A and B are shown apart, each in its own frame.
Chain A
Amino acid sequence: MAVNPQKPGSDALRSFELKAASFTLPIIRLLDENVEAVAARLGAKVEKAPDFFRNTPVVIDLTALPSNSGAVELPLLVGLLRGYGMIPFGVRGGDKEQHATAEALELAVLRESYVRRDRSPEDPKGSDATETAVEVEVPASSVPIKTLAPVRRPNQGFMLVTRPVRSGQRVYAAGGDLTVSAAVSSGAELMADGNIHVYGPLRGRALAGMNGNTEARIFCQDLQAELVSIAGHYRVSENIPIELRGVPVQIFLDQKLLRIEKL
Chain B
Amino acid sequence: MARIIVITSGKGGVGKTTTSAALAMGLAQRGKRTVVIDFDVGLRNLDLIMGCERRVVYDFINVINQEANLNQALIRDKRCDHLYVLPASQTRDKDALTKEGVGRVLEELAQSYDFIVCDSPAGIEHGATMAMYYADDAIVVTNPEVSSVRDSDRMLGILSSRSRRAENSDEPVREFLLLTRYNAERVEIGEMLSVEDVQEILSLNLLGVIPESKAVLNASNSGIPVILDRESDAGQAYGDVVSRYLGEEVPHRFIHTEKKGFLSRIFRG
* Contact in complex: A183, B157 (CB < 8 Å): no
Tell me the bound Cα distance from A200 to B150 in angstroms.
17
* Contact in complex: A169, B150 (CB < 8 Å): no
Which of the 9-residue segments A35-43, A58-66, A160-168 touches chain B?
Answer: A160-168
A65 CB, nearest partner CB in chain B, Å: 29
Cβ < 8 Å to B, chain A residues 34-55: 47-49
B24 CB, nearest partner CB in chain A, Å: 27
* Contact in complex: B203, A186 (CB < 8 Å): no
- Across the interface, which residues of A come within 8 angstroms of B167, CB to CB? 47-48
Tell yes or no: A188 within 8 A of B by CB: yes
A45 CB, nearest partner CB in chain B, Å: 12
Tell yes or no: A187 within 8 A of B by CB: yes
* Contact in complex: B203, A183 (CB < 8 Å): yes
- Across the interface, which residues of A come within 8 angstroms of B160, CB to CB? 163, 166, 169
Tell me the bound Cα distance from A167 to B200 in angstroms.
14
- Across the interface, which residues of B come within 8 angstroms of A188, CB to CB? 157
Tell yes or no: A211 within 8 A of B by CB: no
Tell me the bound Cα distance from A47 to B161 in angstroms.
10
* Contact in complex: A49, B203 (CB < 8 Å): no
Tell me the bound Cα distance from A125 to B200 in angstroms.
35
* Contact in complex: B157, A169 (CB < 8 Å): yes
Tell me the bound Cα distance from A165 to B156 in angstroms.
9
Contact of B153 among A49, A163, A167, A182 (CB under 8 A): A167
Tell yes or no: A185 within 8 A of B by CB: yes
Interface residues of B, count at CB 8 A: 14
Tell yes or no: B158 within 8 A of A by CB: yes
* Contact in complex: A185, B201 (CB < 8 Å): yes
* Contact in complex: B203, A169 (CB < 8 Å): no
Contact of A182 among B154, B161, B203 (CB under 8 A): B203
Tell me the bound Cα distance from A183 to B162 in angstroms.
20
Tell me the bound Cα distance from A165 to B158 in angstroms.
11
A169 CB, nearest partner CB in chain B, Å: 4
Interface residues on A, range: 10 to 19
Given contacts A47-B167, A48-B167, A164-B203, contact A187 B150 (CB under 8 A): yes
* Contact in complex: A168, B203 (CB < 8 Å): no
Of listed B150, B153, B162, B201, residue having the most chain A CB within 10 A: B153
Contact of A169 among B161, B172, B200, B201 (CB under 8 A): B161
* Contact in complex: A187, B203 (CB < 8 Å): no
B236 CB, nearest partner CB in chain A, Å: 31
Given contacts A48-B167, A49-B161, contact A166 B203 (CB under 8 A): no
B10 CB, nearest partner CB in chain A, Å: 9
Tell me the bound Cα distance from A203 to B197 in angstroms.
14
B205 CB, nearest partner CB in chain A, Å: 13
Tell me the bound Cα distance from A89 to B172 in angstroms.
36
Tell me the bound Cα distance from A48 to B157 in angstroms.
13
Encoded as 1 (CB less than 8 Å from any A CB) or 0, chain B from 132 to 167 comes to 000000000000000000100110111011100001
* Contact in complex: B161, A185 (CB < 8 Å): no
- Across the interface, which residues of A come within 8 angstroms of B154, CB to CB? 166-168, 187
A120 CB, nearest partner CB in chain B, Å: 16
Which A residues form the contact surface with B (CB < 8 A)?
A: 47-49, 163-169, 182-183, 185-188, 200-201, 203
The 5 A-B pairs at the shortest CB distance, nearest first, are namely A166-B157, A167-B153, A169-B157, A167-B154, A168-B154
List, sorted by A's number, 26 A–B pairs whose CB atoms are closer than 8 Å.
A48-B161, A48-B167, A49-B161, A163-B160, A163-B172, A164-B156, A164-B203, A166-B153, A166-B156, A166-B160, A167-B153, A167-B154, A167-B157, A168-B153, A168-B154, A168-B157, A168-B158, A169-B157, A169-B161, A185-B150, A185-B157, A185-B201, A187-B154, A188-B157, A201-B200, A203-B201
Which B residues form the contact surface with A (CB < 8 A)?
A: 150, 153-154, 156-158, 160-162, 167, 172, 200-201, 203
